[in-house]
Amino acid sequence: MNEIKELCICGNTLLWPEKTGTWLQNIIILDWYDGIMTMVCRCKVCRKPKLISVISWQPDVSSIRVFGVADLTPTAFEQVEVSGRQFMGPAQHDYKVFLADLFNDAPLPWAVVASANIGDTILRSKRLENIERLRPYEDAISSEAELSSWLSMLDIPKS
C-alpha cells in the first residue's frame, strides 16, 4: 500500500516561516490586544497541541511581536477548548487566573517565532533553550533595547 505521509515540521523550525495555516490549525485565540497575544493550536500533521504566547513586544517600536512556543498535553488542550471559551467575556478576573494557571502549568517554551500577525503569517522562527516561562502579555511589554535584541537574534532588520 502506497502511503504518502505529509511532513511534520514541528521538529524543524526553519520551515515555519510560512502562512500560519500551512502547518497550524485549530487555533483558539485566548488573548487579544490589537492582535493575537496568546493562542493554542495543533500541528496540522502530527496534531500535537501548542501554546503560543507573546514574550516580547513594544508597539511604539515595531509591529512585529516575538512569541514563545510551548507544547501542551492533549488534556490541557481539551481543557482550554472548554474553559477558554467559557471564561471569555465578562468574567475577566477568572479569565486572568485561568490564563496564569495555563502559563504556570505549561512546560517551558522551546522555540520563538516572530510575526506581525501570527494568525496569518510567521516571519521567522528559531529553536531556543532557556526561554523564560510564558507570562501574561502585560509582563511581556519590552524596552526598545530588549525587543531589538530579539529581532536581531531572529535576523529581522529594524525598520
CB of 11 to Zn ion, least distance (A): 7
The C-alpha cell at 112 is 520563538
- CA distance linking residue 125 with residue 68, whole number of Å: 10
Q: Least separation, in Å, of the C-beta of 26 and Zn ion?
A: 12
Least distance CB 77 / Zn ion (angstroms): 13
Beta carbon nearer to Zn ion, 44 or 135? 44
CA distances from 5 to 8, 23, 39, 45, 156 (A): 9, 14, 27, 9, 33
Alpha-carbon distance 12 to 14, whole Å?
5
71 or 99: CB nearest Zn ion? 71
Q: Select 23 or 150, whichever has its Cβ closest to Zn ion.
A: 23
Note the residues at the interface with Zn ion (CB under 5 A).
8, 10, 43, 45-46
Q: How far is the CB of 44 from Zn ion (least distance, A)?
A: 7
Taking phi over 0 as left and psi of -120 to 50 as alpha, with beta for the rest, 23 belongs to: alpha
- CB of 10 or CB of 51, closer to Zn ion: 10
Report the C-alpha gap between 71 and 139 in whole angstroms.
21
Separation between Cα atoms, residue 31 and residue 100, nearest integer Å: 12
Rounded least distance, CB 38 to Zn ion, Å: 20
When the beta carbons of 8 and 156 are compared against Zn ion, the nearer one is: 8
CA distance 152 to 159: 11
